[in-house]
Amino acid sequence: MSDRDLMRAVVVDRMVRGELTSAEGAELLALSVRQAKRLRKRFVASGAKGLVHGNLSKRSNHARPREERARVMELIRERYSGPAERGPGQRFGPTLVAEHLLEDEGIDVPVSTLRCWMRTDGLWTRKRKWHHRFRRRERRAHFGELIQLDGSFHDWLEDRGAGGCLMTMTDDATGRQLALMGKEETLWSAAGLLRWWIEEYGVPRAIYTDLKTLYHSPGGVWDRAYRPLTKFGLICSKLGIELIPASSPQAKGRVERTHGTNQDRLVKKLRLKGICSHEEMNRYLKEVYLPAHNARFAKQPSNPADYHLPLEAVAGRLKPEDIWCLEESRQLSNDGVISYGSRKLQVSERQDMPQRSKVLVRTTEDGSLRVIYKRLVAGETRETELKWQEHREQQKERIKDTPDAKAINPRAGPNVLSTRPRPKANHPWRMRNGIEVAEALEAKRELQMYTAPEGQ
Phi/psi class of residue 429: alpha, beta or left (left: φ > 0; alpha: ψ in -120 to 50)?
A: alpha
Q: Does the pLDDT value for residue 110 go beyond 80?
A: yes
CB 344 within 8 A of CB 393: yes
Phi, psi (degrees; rounded to nearest 5) at 232: -70, -35
- pLDDT value, residue 221: 43
Q: Which pLDDT does position 390 carry in this prediction?
A: 84
- Residues with Cβ within 8 Å of residue 162, at least 6 apart in sequence: 183, 278
Of how many residues is the chain composed? 456
- Provide the 8-state DSSP code for 77: I
Quick one: pLDDT band at residue 396, thresholds 50, 70, 90?
very low
Q: In what order do the strands lie in the sheet with 206-209?
A: 177-182, 164-171, 147-154, 206-209, 242-245
Give the mean model confidence (pLDDT) for residues 46-64: 82
Question: Between vectors from CA 56 to CA 54 and to CA 60, what angle results, nearest 5°?
Answer: 95
pLDDT score of 164 more than 60: yes
| 176: three-class secondary structure by DSSP | coil
> Contact, 145 vs 172, CB < 8 A?
yes
Poorest-pLDDT segment among 31-40, 109-118, 208-217, 369-378: 369-378
Give the integer Cα–Cα distance in Å for 264 and 89.
11
- What's the average model confidence in pLDDT over 117-139? 76
Question: Which residue type, as a one-letter code, is found at position 43?
Answer: F
Confidence at residue 351, expressed as pLDDT on a 0 to 100 scale: 64
Least confidently predicted of 87-101, 299-313, 330-344, 389-403: 389-403
Q: Measuring CA to CA, which residue among 188, 181, 192 is closest to residue 156?
A: 181
DSSP 268-279: HHHHHHT--SHH
Mean pLDDT, rounded, for 29-45: 91
pLDDT tens-place string over residues 66-82: 999 999 999 999 999 98
Q: Which is more confidently placed, 176 or 341? A: 176
Higher pLDDT, 355 or 409: 355
Q: Name which of 217, 165, 167, 156 is nearest 193 in CA terms.
A: 167
Residue 421 has pLDDT above 90, yes or no: no
pLDDT category, 278, cuts 50, 70, 90?
A: very high
Q: DSSP H helical segments within 142-252, as ranges?
A: 187-200, 231-238
Backbone angles phi, psi at 292, to 5 degrees: -70, -40
> Quick check: 445 pLDDT over 70?
yes
- Share the mean pLDDT of the chain: 84
Orientation of helix 3-16 relative to helix 33-46, angle to 10°: 90
Quote the pTM value: 0.67
* Residue among 274, 164, 143, 256 nearest 210 (CA): 256
